Homo-oligomer: A and B are copies of this chain.
Amino acid sequence: MSNNVTFTEKLRSSGLRPTKQRIEICKLLFNRANTFHFTINDLNKLLNKTSEKKISLATIYNTVHAFKKKGYLKEISINSERSYFDTNVTNHHHFFDESNNELIDLDNKYVEKITISKSLPGKKIKSVEVLVKVANNN
A-side interface residues toward B, CB under 8 Å? 75, 77-80, 83, 95, 97-99, 104, 106-107, 110-112, 114-118, 120, 122-137
Contacts and interface: CB of A to CB of B under 8 A. Distances in A.
The binding surface of chain A is classed by DSSP as strand
Nearest to A128: B132
16 contacts: A77-B78, A97-B120, A107-B118, A111-B117, A116-B130, A123-B135, A123-B137, A124-B136, A124-B137, A126-B133, A127-B131, A128-B131, A128-B132, A129-B130, A129-B133, A130-B130
Contact of A114 (B77, B111, B133): B111
A110 B104 contact: no
